[in-house]
Amino acid sequence: MSVLLLAAAMVMVQGAAGAQNVRFKKYFTGGTLRLDCSREGNAQGDTVWVSRWLDRSAEWHGSREVLVDPFDNGDYRVEMRDAKSGKVIYSKGYSNLFREYKGTAKGRKVKARFEETLLLPMPKRKVLIALQRRDDNMQLVDQTVVPFDPDEQELDFNYHIGQRTDLELHGAPEDKVDVAIVAQGYNGMSDPQLRVDYYRMKEILFGQEPFKSHRDDFNVYGVKADVDAEFGTFGIDRYLMTFSLWKLHDALGTTPCDYIIIMVNDERYGGGAIYNFYAVASMHRLAEYVLPHEFGHAFGGLADEYVDEDLAYGNLHINDYEPLEPNITNLKDFGRKWKTMLPSGTKVPTPDNVDVPKNECGPLGVYEGAGYAYKGVYRPTMHCMMRDYAPFCPVCTKRLEEVFSMYAK
C-alpha cells in the first residue's frame, strides 16, 4: 500500500446489542453536561477521574430516541444510570489515544496523563456516571463510578469559543449526524482560503458512499480555532493528533458535534482517527483519496483490513476472543459477523484466487489477511476502503449506515 495510515484501529465493535428504550423527557432536561476527564497510566494499568464538571450551555445534539448505545464498540464506555432505579438511561462507547500509547516503548513503563471529554444529556435528577473499560475478556466493567446530582454539583461553563460558521444544515441537531470541522492554522489567513478549505473537506466527507447518499442526514459546522494538533505523535512523522481534548471542546463551545474533524492547514501528509473521539486531517493533495478511510475508523469504528506485521500491534486480533470490529473476524465467533450476508455455498475461508480490479470490492467472502495479520484474521472482500482505498465493502457500508441511522431520523 502506497500510503499507510496509522489511524487508530483500536476499536472494538460487535453486533448491535439490544438497545433499550429510554424516554428522553422523563430523564433529561434537554441540556448538555460536559465532563472533562483525566486518564493516567501505562501498559500496567490506568486510572480515570473527572477533573472538571461543565454545563455545555447547549441543547442536547445527540439522538433523543436512541440513548443506549446499540454497538458494543470502543475500548471504553460511559454509562449513565438513574440513581434511584439503577436503570441505564444513556451510554456511549468510544476510544482514546491512550490505547496506542500503552503499546509504545515509553508507554510500557512511563505513566502519562490523557484527556477525555464526554458530552452527556443533562439528567433531571441524581444519576451515577460509570466510566467503563474492557477487561481481559473484552467485557465492559466499571472502572470508576461517580454520582452526579444536578441540584448539588456546581458546574463551570464553556469558554474560548471558536469562530463558528454553519456550513451545511439539513435539520435539527437532534435529528441529524452533526459534524464539526475544527479549522486549525487559519489565524492570519484570508477568510476566502478558509471557506475554500471548509468546502473541500465537506465534499471529501460526502464524496464516498455510503456518506454520499446520506448527505441529507448530516449537518456540518465549521469552527476556526487552534487546538494543538501536531505531527509526530508517538514519534511517527505523519501521525497528526492532539492531546488537548479539553481545549478542543472549549473551542467547539456550543457547536453540535456527534463527530469532530480537525482540519489542519498544512500541506504535509498526516492524519489519524479514533472511534467516537475525533479525526484529524491535513490539507494534503491526497486528502480526497485517504480521508474516507479515516472516516471509516472515526464514524464506524471499523478495523483496518490491511496487513502490516511491522506494526507494534500487529497481532492485536489473534487471540481467544472474536475481535469486536464488524469487518474482521478470527472465526472464533463468526456468527456475530457477516456470516448471514454470505451467498449460500461460500467457502469459509474463501480462496483468494479471484482477480478483482482495484476499484471494486469483489465477491463477499471470508478472505485471509486483515487487521495487520497475514494469517488467522479474515476480511469480507478482496478490496475495501479499509484495506486499499477501494469503495467501502458491504460489511463496512452496513455498519456505517447503522451508525448514521442511530443519529439521524
From the list 179-187, 259-267, 350-358, 378-386, the region that binds Zn ion by CB under 5 A is 378-386
- Which residue number, 92 or 293, has a Cβ lying nearer to Zn ion? 293
Between 158 and 327, CB nearer to Zn ion: 327
- Which listed residue (72, 304, 325, 401) binds Zn ion by CB under 5 A? 304
Q: How far apart are the first and last CA of the chain?
A: 38
What is the rounded CA–CA span in Å between residue 325 and residue 304?
A: 9
Pick 128 or 311: Cβ nearer Zn ion: 311
DSSP-H helix ranges across 206-313: 245-252, 287-300
* Least distance in angstroms from the C-beta of 341 to Zn ion: 12
Stretch that binds Zn ion, among 52-60, 74-82, 215-223, 376-384 (CB under 5 A): 376-384
Q: Does 393 bind Zn ion (CB under 5 A)?
A: yes
Backbone angles phi, psi at 83, to 5 degrees: -65, -35
Q: Which three cell numbers stand for residue 8?
A: 487508530
Q: Which is nearer to Zn ion, 217 or 304 (CB)?
A: 304
By CB under 5 A, is residue 384 in contact with Zn ion? yes
Q: Are strands 177-184 and 218-224 parallel, antiparallel or unpaired?
A: parallel
22 binds Zn ion (CB under 5 A): no
Torsion of Cα atoms, 5 then 11 then 14 then 16, to 10°: -100
Least distance from Zn ion to the Cβ atom of residue 276, Å: 15
386 belongs to the binding site for Zn ion (CB under 5 A): yes
303 scored as a contact of Zn ion (CB under 5 A):
no
Minimum distance from residue 293 beta carbon to Zn ion (Å): 6
The H or E element containing residue 386 is helix 385-388
**Which H or E run contains 377?**
strand 373-379
Contact 300, 403 (CB under 8 A): yes
- Alpha-carbon distance 402 to 68, whole Å? 14
DSSP 238: T
Q: Which is nearer to Zn ion, 12 or 393 (CB)?
A: 393
Q: Which of 35, 251, 287, 396 binds Zn ion (CB under 5 A)?
A: 396
User: Would you count residue 280 as binding Zn ion (CB under 5 A)?
Assistant: no
45-53, 208-216, 235-243, 388-396 -> range binding Zn ion (CB under 5 A): 388-396
Q: List C-alpha distances in Å: 150 to 126, 128, 388.
A: 6, 11, 48
Residue 214: CB minimum distance to Zn ion, A: 17
Please tell me whether residue 5 binds Zn ion under the rule CB under 5 A.
Answer: yes
Q: Judged by CB, which is closer to Zn ion: 88, or 311?
A: 311
Q: Tell me the number of residues near Zn ion by CB under 5 A.
A: 8
Q: Look up residue 276 and give its three cell numbers.
A: 467516537
- Give 307 or 386: the residue with its C-beta nearer to Zn ion: 386
- List Cβ neighbours of 366 (8 Å cut-off, separation of 6 or more): 329, 331, 334, 342, 346, 347, 348, 349, 350, 378, 379, 380
* Grid coordinates given for 219: 449537518
Angle between helices 191-205 and 287-300 (to 10 degrees): 60
Residues 317-356 within binding reach of Zn ion (CB under 5 A): 327
For the bound state, the minimum distance from the C-beta of residue 16 to Zn ion, rounded and expressed in Å, comes to 18
Residue of the chain from 7, 130, 229, 291 that contacts Zn ion (CB under 5 A) = 7
Interface residues with Zn ion (CB under 5 A) are 5, 7, 304, 327, 384, 386, 393, 396
